[in-house]
Structure 1
């Protein structure tokens, strides 16, 4: 019996989908805290609003029901289904496009006469500029395709289920949004989302550049040419810390433009920036950064450990 041989593109997509699903399940509560902290940036009354205040609110709202413990868990995992769906799709699309774009850009720049599709086999020949270009172009396409998912996700995760006007499900959210705001509502926050793509591009540039350096050293010393989990975690943590911190304000602006409040108060990008700075100074643009790093670094480590190991074994 002959084993099925996966193509490089299939490996990228399967590994990306699996990694996205597993990561989302593990860190979803931190994602919910991050969203609620980001949305507090537009409220002058919530200048000192922190992670513990969010948890306190969830516990307080849960105490009004007879099943407080299960209610707390339900609230911490509110929006899990759309977060799971969105991250699985986004990572699958991103990894698939990233693998293709690296190869296409490499051939266009380095090997214009080469016509055979080699997938990710050219990685050891690729420089940082190609990684940056591939990451940026893949991120832009992924952001445009998945923006409607993130609008619904932000609104579901920003409110408790019992709050008046809250979306009770993905279907209910889509229905309400289309009825009240039309198709344009599905692409709210797209502009900062497109600028925020630079985070992924920067991350992949750092990650793949450091990864190829480590693999080159292993190859030269005759070692097994595969990253260990510890090496993946080391590279991932450094890349994520740098990239997230540099472009975090775009994430915060995107969340606020996608919120219920954005529709009620007709938020626009530049007036929104002014409002946040007026409430809390420039520090307001980094509201929830520590929680985001606490979520982003371990979640990306999980994602890339799953991704690298699965791709290696497929």
Structure 2
């Protein structure tokens, strides 16, 4: 059982799987933000969720090995105030009837609790494992400075400049005179038109980007469509880092550059500008010429 929004190292998964019951642990600077462990001889003796006064800095980081023994124990547990069964309560119940071992991470753990952390994960993976396989077509006149991975049946047109760690999926078209730089990943079956600038961004599958768009430090969800002239501003309006609204509170992203977070099937009609840290929900269509200064939550609505 793993948190679906975190990255874990293979060696840590294998380490946890050496035991019938186990969890992945890591020493952190501020354990008050995590479930803190009390351990003895490699076995978990207690687990406390986000204590005010943690007994140690050894924490659980969201990967567990259980079997069906856990399920009857859940029937005896009350639901939390959120109306859910909590993993920490399940571990507490399990350690009363079995030894639950902990594996201290020897690999990596990249949490992706906020959407902009996808950029952190992308940076981590591209810098950790640069890939230079060219399976598609690179036309004459393309400049490559850095590493490029290009999938089957993809093509990069002449005059384009690749600079940084860039990974392009299968069945993609990158038009002529584009500039793609930084740690940038482009998913399968994307169409990037001529004269598009993309910097340090994650572009999901089936995305279409028309000419003269400027995409920086952004996450573009699958099947999004950016018409010509879209610009995602990424430098903070105030301060040194970009903030973004989460559950009605502004959260510091910790990033000096953060563009837009566009969910699946978002459509930006021509000449849209988005402010740094703006998030747009799935299926939103933004009318031409707008400046998007705040998150857009409307579902399937033309925002005018």
Length-normalised TM-score, structure 1: 0.20
Higher helix share: 1
Higher strand share: 2
Length-normalised TM-score, structure 2: 0.21
Task: Flag the structure with larger Rg.
Answer: 2
